[in-house]
Structure 1
Amino acid sequence: MNVHTSERRFDGRVVVVTGGARGLGRAYAEMVAGLGAKVVVNDNGSALSGSGSDAGPAEEAAQALRAMGAEAVASTDSVATPEGGKAIIETALDTFGKIDVLIHNAGNNRFAALAETSYEDFRAVLDVHMLGAFHVVRPAFERMVKDGYGRVVLTGSIGGLYSMPGVVNYAMSKSAMIGLNNIVAIEGKDFGVKSNVILPGAVTRMAEGLDTSQYPPMGPELVAPVVGFLAHESCPVTGEMYVSVAGRIARAFITETEGVYQPSWTIDEVAGQLDAIRDDSRQWTFHPAEDGFGQHLARSFAMATAKAAG
């Protein structure tokens, strides 16, 4: 068990951690509990593939937090269904009267090449990572908006940004966190609700089958402080993504090249201008929570208008 010290405490805050009984989720739960939070440890105790269930892990984790002196309860509902997601959030509301922080960490893995993956294995991962995020965010966000405060931390992955072979289900699920994060940040902006994505790299159960012998230290305790910062009331950012891998912390974001304007195009002209279109020496980077969508259109339209006028 890792003991965290910080001036940024969670006294009086109610935190829900999905997938909170083991690995990264357990590290997050222990951290916020040690800093004064009341914690709902959600974990259905499934195997890495997502199959089966076991109430033991969540109960054991909650008991360990109580042994630390924290207030904690177990939730064994599955994020994979709307009913399960709602029940997880209602556990927080029924037990502690509110929800201040939602950390969606629950995950599973089923490896297969794209040409060979079954629809069952595809959906099994989407149901937990992607739909699971919506299933808990939807009821949590509604309550946070009503209460005028909330922090959401979603779990993305460099596997969602850059991907690797054999995990189309995981890659699609994790890239989807970008859209959900943007929406929570945009729609929560006027209600004190902030959302960010953690892109964690840690050796946990999810690394089973991988050769990690040459990896540097990559324990969950290296990721937990980043999540704690994003989950804290003092966090100044929203709608952003933060990488935490082997002690390195970085911000990840999507950007565009400035591109090329012409009043009309042919296929051959696109091909002829490709180098200029792809030229990344001049980039446009927009922030979702600061009207990035509108700014994208405004600057694109301005380029067209200026070129036409010139």
Structure 2
Amino acid sequence: MSDIRFDDRVAIVTGAGGGLGRCHALELARRGAKVVVNDLGPKMDGSGGSSDAANAVVKEIEALGGEAIANGSSVADEAGVQKMIDDTMAKWGRIDILIANAGILRDKSFSKMSIADIKLVIDVHLIGSFLPVKAAWDIMKEQNFGRIVVTTSSTGLYGNFGQANYGAAKLGLVGMMNTLKIEGAKNNIKVNAVCPIAATQMTEGLMPPEVLAQLKPEYVSPGVMNLVKDDAPTGMVLSAGAGAFSMAEIVETKGVFVGRDDDLTAEAVAAKWDQITDKSDQTHFNMGGEHGQNIFARVAEALKS
């Protein structure tokens, strides 16, 4: 198997001043990429901020013999994101890889969560991924090449107490990926998501030290490299942690036709509930139209019988 290399590729990694983003940036640089290290440097609640962390990672990359520049823009600020894109183009003239990794937490039970807590987390995670992807999209289309990775979470896929804001944003990124994989296909733009389990500033205090010791963020980056390589998949959610990897998918049961008009009642649906929820025959759809086709297939089957 040939080595995975990124020579002559230009990569932007947001939230790369520490944790997962830093590991992604360093691994890309080791494999030949020129890297834009973006980090506002905020605390996990979104306060404070400087690009000192980004500058430190740039020095690490340069010590490896690589090329990198620092950027201190907030990913939730449109003008700041545009500056990041403009600075990248001025320096290297292209953008091949974008890893949207920046994030914060405002964990509280839903009854105690303020509207400000909700807006801030959605702004950083969801809008803060939309903005750089949008700003780089036409550049990638013009190049007929682009590799994008957004960072989802098990909270978005499956839920977690006290993280309704975070979970909503993280599942929103999967929805974004599912559409962009379709729109980018003709221009060789591949869009994937990573669902990491890692010991970072965001997970400190959430797990015992002996567990965190097994969850080094650098154990996630090898999987991410496979999501941005030339022959990467597209539309994949890759779960990664502690050296183990799996694929997550949204699936739907085959379902059943219940009826129409006077035959379609709540009680009729209840009577078919076991068939509606039967998991023995489930499918992963690659686009929304396939979901509709599944529904109409059940109708067609009923009409034939």
Q: Normalization by structure 1: what TM-score?
A: 0.94
Q: Normalization by structure 2: what TM-score?
A: 0.95
Partner of 2:161: 165
1:251 corresponds, among 232, 237, 247, to 247
SS at match of 2:280: coil
Aligned pair 1:223/2:242, yes or no? no
Contact 1:40–1:91 (CA<8 Å) still a contact in 2? no
Partner of 1:234: 231
The range that moved more, 295-304 or 120-129, is: 295-304
Gaps of at least 5 residues in structure 1 are: 1-5
Spell out the pairing of 1:196-207 with structure 2 (5 A cutoff): 196-207=192-203
Aligned pair 1:65/2:61, yes or no? yes
Spell out the pairing of 1:38-187 with structure 2 (5 A cutoff): 38-187=34-183
Contact 2:13–2:36 (CA<8 Å) still a contact in 1? yes
Q: Deviations over 1:68-113 (max 9, x none)?
A: 1111000000001222222222221111111000000000011111
Partner of 1:304: 299
Partner of 2:281: 282
Q: Deviations over 1:262-310 (max 9, x none)?
A: 22221111122212211101112212xxxx3222222321221231132
Contact 2:252–2:283 (CA<8 Å) still a contact in 1? yes
Shift of 1:190: 0.3
User: How many Å separate the matches in 2 of 1:102 and 1:32?
Assistant: 11
Q: Kindly report structure 1 stretches of 4+ aligned residues shifted beyond 4 Å.
A: none
User: How many Å separate the matches in 1 of 2:19 and 2:238?
Assistant: 19
**Matched AA of 1:97:** G
User: Root-mean-square deviation (CA), in Å?
Assistant: 1.3
SS at match of 1:205: coil
Shift of 1:211: 3.1
User: How many Å separate the matches in 2 of 1:207 and 1:22?
Assistant: 13
Q: Deviations over 1:178-216 (max 9, x none)?
A: 111112211000001000000000001011222323416
Spell out the pairing of 1:11-26 with structure 2 (5 A cutoff): 11-26=7-22
The size of the alignment, in residue pairs, is 300
**Matched AA of 1:88:** M
User: How many Å separate the matches in 2 of 1:87 and 1:165?
Assistant: 37
**Matched AA of 1:285:** H
User: How many Å separate the matches in 2 of 1:266 and 1:111?
Assistant: 41
Partner of 1:3: none
Percent sequence identity over aligned pairs: 38
